[in-house]
Chain A
Amino acid sequence: MAMSNEISKTDEEIAALVQKGQKESFGILMDRYERKLFSYARKFLIGQDNIEDVVQEVFIKTYQNIKSFDTSQKFSPWIYRIAHNTFVNALRKNAKSPLRFFDFDTFVAHPVYEDTMPVEKEQKRISKVIDKGLDKLSPEYREIIILFYIENLSYKEIADVLHIPIGTVSVRLLRAKKELKKFVPNEQKEPHEPNEYHE
């Protein structure tokens, strides 16, 4: 009965219960995020055969660090941040070429670009080409496409996951889309120019 009540609670409320020592409630958070994290891991860590171990590591770290989570904030960017760090470490362990540590796009303040196309329409369009070209993208482009189009995180949430300015999120996303379209010959149509706005 108690468990069925908890199912209607938000992630943040359940995280608060876990913080108070209700360990079994962590299972509900796992149910909610397991599929998402597996999907994120499979698409980000292309070619790696230890996906299950890596996702398990994410959940273990989440539990260990849950008392650092501020329940007044959203839970999803917080767990995705843990996942991002764990996945990047996994990539580094198996990297054939060194991962880029420094992003020149974080140097200057970029305006935030917002696509004029409705998000759902854009998502449908992009999702058609993601499977064809995602594995050919560099990890940083691959990840931002996954977080925005597959995991549906907002720019602010992605900024919190990747620890980069919001303007950099929009610029990187724009570049990732252009890059993705290079690998998909059937997708001839150039991405339309987005509008520019300042927060």
Chain B
Amino acid sequence: MNENENKKLKDSVLEKIETGKINMKPRFYFVAEVTALIVVAILTLLTSSLLVSFIIFSLIASGKLFLLGFGVRGLLTFFVLFPWSLLIVEIIFIILLEWLIKKFKFGYRSSLTRLVFVILLISIALSVVIIITPFHNILQNRAEQRNLPIIGSYYRGLRRPIPDQEIFRGVVSNVGTSSFVIDQSVDVDDNEASNSYYLIDLPPNVPSSFFPSVGDTVFVAGKLTSYDTVEAYGIQKFSTSDIQ
């Protein structure tokens, strides 16, 4: 590069500055940009935490989490019924958040794994706080009263039995020596259900502590052997806090 070229470029840029063809962006523009970035990052983190808390809440409230204690068969059913689509949305949120944080010095100077780990940690911590509060229970009650638009269907479906996937739940109305009857209409507002009462046959050698009492809300995993009889391989009572 010779001196003439140097002068030509410098003069050209300075002329554009002098004539007002190019101008400095005001400081306000950059402050607004950074503020918007921070707000979007916080909103994304909150949404991500809400989603994680909903995934955990849905597993607890629906009773699907009990499947993990029902042996290999329960574990397989758990994987089939896990809300994978919500998990994919959560992963997208994490990627978005990671991309937003990388705009800041502390973000791009961290490795990707460390950043994702920290985001996940914060997101899970926040989601635990949300779960401790009655936030999701309130939304679920509103959804069941048909008073929660858009996301209401996600909450309404939680207590619904899934006979095709061998999942039943309801309130115990009658107890026998090796079986009991559940009424799902008491626990679930489900007009589409074909049957309200199910006779639950207990697996052999079930300890008496597993036997529910009338009025208990139970989660049952088992095969539908006839129109209204279920051969259970796993039973768990809901605690009061689970069904609030």
Contacts and interface: CB of A to CB of B under 8 A. Distances in A.
Interface stretch (B4-12, B180-188, B190-198): B4-12
B9 A106 contact: no
A148 interface: no
Given A106-B111, A164-B108, A30 B10 contact: yes
Interface stretch (B19-27, B54-62, B144-152): B19-27
Interface in B101-133: 102, 105, 108-114
Contact of B109 (A26, A27, A59, A165): A165
**Mostly helix, strand, loop or mixed at chain B's interface?**
helix
Contact of A67 (B1, B24, B102, B109): B24
12 contacts: A24-B14, A30-B14, A38-B1, A52-B9, A60-B13, A64-B22, A64-B24, A66-B24, A67-B27, A68-B27, A159-B109, A165-B111
B114 to A, nearest CB: 6
A63 B22 contact: yes
Contacts of A74: none
Interface string A157-180: 001100111111000000000000
Number of contact residues on A: which range applies?
Answer: 35 or more
Interface of A: 18-19, 23-24, 26-27, 30-31, 34-35, 38, 52, 55-56, 59-60, 63-68, 106-110, 159-160, 163-168
Contacts of A23: 14, 17-18
> Does more than half of chain A's interface fall in helix, strand or loop, or is it mixed?
helix
Nearest to B104: A163
Contact of A35 (B1, B105, B113): B1
B30 interface: yes
B16 interface: yes
Given A34-B6, A109-B111, A67 B26 contact: yes
Contacts of A60: 13, 16, 22
A63 B10 CA distance: 12
A110 B9 CA distance: 41
B2 to A, nearest CB: 11
A27 B108 contact: no
Nearest to A19: B24
Nearest to A53: B9
B111 A65 contact: no
Contacts of A64: 22-25
